[in-house]
Amino acid sequence: MSDATARGPYRVTFVCTGNICRSPMAEHVLRKYVEDEGLDAIVDSSGTGGWHVGDTADHRTVRALRRHGFTSDHAARKFQRGWFDDYDLVIALDAGHLRELRALARTDQDRDKIRLLRSFDPSAGPDLDVPDPYYDDDEAFEHVMDLIERAAPGIVEEIRRGLKSAG
């Protein structure tokens, strides 16, 4: 049982580069899944870089979320090394984020919390990166939404397992 679970709800954070495209999209999708399932979990997101701190989500992210019936309120923030103690699951959106998070992790327990989003999608195949849609069009954001939604049920199951083992 992690420290976060011992303190209360299961906590999940998604991490991408600037915390304005992929990770806020994943945050809002999973948050809705968690609410619909009535799970005791908190879902948020952050970025590996700090240049967008305080910014809202990219307008194309907001558009994609709203098109699919999700909320979109967001303020970007940068993931901090000390946050590992606050989370049960830290989900990287691509291999670069995974490397950066592993470099920040101080302990094996911290490293064990880090997973790639697409590792929760049994149909993902060998490429587990969620591509960055920032320099692309709405179609790229729709593709990211599809990848996130495919992984969400697996993440929900991971949350269930975590809550069960804590109880």
Q: Which of 55, 132, 150, 160 is catalytic?
A: 132
Q: Which of 11, 16, 44, 60 is catalytic?
A: 16
Residues 6+ apart with CB under 8 A from 26: 14, 45, 91, 93, 117, 130, 148
Residue 16: active-site member: yes
Instruction: Report the alpha-carbon distance of residue 36 to residue 49 in Å, rounded.
Output: 31
Longest Cα–Cα distance of the chain, Å, equals 44
Residue 22: active-site member: yes
Instruction: Report the alpha-carbon distance of residue 146 to residue 134 in Å, rounded.
Output: 16
Residue 132: active-site member: yes
Q: Which of 11, 21, 22, 60 is catalytic?
A: 22
Alpha carbon separation from 22 to 4, 16, 65 (Å, rounded): 24, 6, 11
Residues 6+ apart with CB under 8 A from 5: 11, 88, 162, 163, 165, 166
The catalytic site residues sit at 16, 22, 132
